[in-house]
Structure 1
Amino acid sequence: MQLVLASGSPRRRELLQQIRADFVCLASDIPEQQGTHETASAYVKRLAYEKAIASAKQYGAACIVIGSDTLIDRDGEVMEKPRDQAHGIAMLRSLAERTHKVRTAVCIMYYDGNAPSLVQREEVTTEVSMGAISESAALTYWQTGEPLDKAAGYAIQGGAARWVKRISGSYTAVVGLPLYETEQLLQAVEAKLG
């Protein structure tokens, strides 16, 4: 059975390679817009599910598909990818000297070529505490290009690691794919398929 990762993220691909060798990546192009009264938790779970469905339909045949999404929740406010330099620097500096939540949802399903079934989902929340981040340090980091496509404009596995004081929870979830939970969900779907 073909395994499909519903993502174009090199970080998610590298993470999945740690637990599974044979899979294809199919990025989905779905709108990422939080609903008016949608909580951060509901939003990240919905995006993971929609990415999985979109990539399964794109694949067009029977497969097991993994959808995942990650967002930053700062006191209930969702922080997505930065719009521009000013937005990216402001977001990063707003995380300085405080703790925020990184929410990553995983949705794994069997797609028979027409419809999904055996849907397994989980959200993993990790708390990240940051130290001080100066304006000049944030600008220098922005200029590396690394923050451009990252939630809240930072990569914990990259240059932003210098500001991370503490992490409570799953490191791989912060990077983009919680490996323990992903493996458990995959095993549950595979067991039901026999």
Structure 2
Amino acid sequence: MRPIVLASASPRRAELLAQLGVQFSICPVDIDETPLPGERADHYVERLAREKAAAGLARTGSASALVLGSDTSVVCDGMILGKPGDESGAQAMLARLSGRTHVVMTGVALAGEHGCFARLVTTEVRFRHLSEQEITAYCRTGEPMDKAGAYGIQGRGGAFVSGLWGSYSAVVGLPLGETAGLLADAGQPVYMYWGHTEESRDE
């Protein structure tokens, strides 16, 4: 089986990829995440996913490796809400999302010797109305600071969500169905790894 590499330092993405049962290594990359002038949100997240995967492949120096890259953005009123720069920025983002439906776009890309292939997942998320007190309390936990849109649906921020239409795993940071599909297209379906877990070797 070909080595699988996750080009991300995100523990959330690593946990999701592990959920698929595959064996992988981690190779964080550092790329410029500045949107291009006039760039649409869907183009932006897919471009970053591709660039992360390509950068990871270059770092591995392996001809046989398959490298996954992913990027997630929260979009509200056509504006990309990235990671907040400070607590006041996080509070402003959450106030903007309060009581409204926004879009979470996640791109996932797989780079290998035969090229780089990507898929884009769009999910709608509805927030209930948030009081100033809970926004302030949430921001003081520090949880929003490294997350697009200033919230983590898998953490305390999940208390804000009143509805979701689409992929939960994509909102967390890595769409599992699409990731499995890319690996299958590359000749590495995830079920190939299910007989090679630590549990099966210990039996």
Helix, strand or coil: the match of 2:137? helix
Return the letter of the residue paired with 2:20.
Answer: I
Q: Give the conservation status (yes or no) of the 8 Å contact 1:67–1:108.
A: yes
Return the letter of the residue paired with 1:49.
Answer: R
Aligned residues: 186
Superposed CA offset, 1:62-94 (max 9, x none): 210101000001121000000001001100110
Paired with 1:182 and 1:21, the residues of 2 have a C-alpha distance of: 11
- 2:135 counterpart (134, 138, 158): 138
Give 1:171-182 correspondences, 5 Å limit.
Answer: 171-182=168-179
Name the stretch that deviates more: 136-145 or 167-176: 136-145
Paired with 1:148 and 1:98, the residues of 2 have a C-alpha distance of: 21
Give 1:28-177 correspondences, 5 Å limit.
Answer: 28-62=29-63, 63-111=65-113, 117-177=114-174
Q: Give the conservation status (yes or no) of the 8 Å contact 1:109–1:189.
A: no
Q: TM-score, normalised by structure 1?
A: 0.93
The percent identity for this pair of structures is: 45
Superposed CA offset, 1:114-150 (max 9, x none): xxx2422110000000011112211111111111100
Name the stretch that deviates more: 118-127 or 9-18: 118-127
Q: CA deviation at 1:21?
A: 3.1
Helix, strand or coil: the match of 2:186? helix
Superposed CA offset, 1:141-185 (max 9, x none): 111111110001100011011110000000000000000111011
Paired with 1:124 and 1:186, the residues of 2 have a C-alpha distance of: 16
Report what 1:16 is aligned to. Answer: 17
Helix, strand or coil: the match of 1:137? helix
* Unaligned runs of at least 5 residues, structure 2: 189-203
Return the letter of the residue paired with 1:24.
Answer: S
Q: Give the conservation status (yes or no) of the 8 Å contact 1:118–1:189.
A: no
Q: Give the conservation status (yes or no) of the 8 Å contact 1:4–1:24.
A: yes
* Unaligned runs of at least 5 residues, structure 1: 112-116
Q: Give the conservation status (yes or no) of the 8 Å contact 1:120–1:189.
A: no
Helix, strand or coil: the match of 1:126? strand
RMSD in angstroms over aligned alpha carbons? 1.0
Paired with 2:115 and 2:82, the residues of 1 have a C-alpha distance of: 29
Report what 1:114 is aligned to. Answer: none
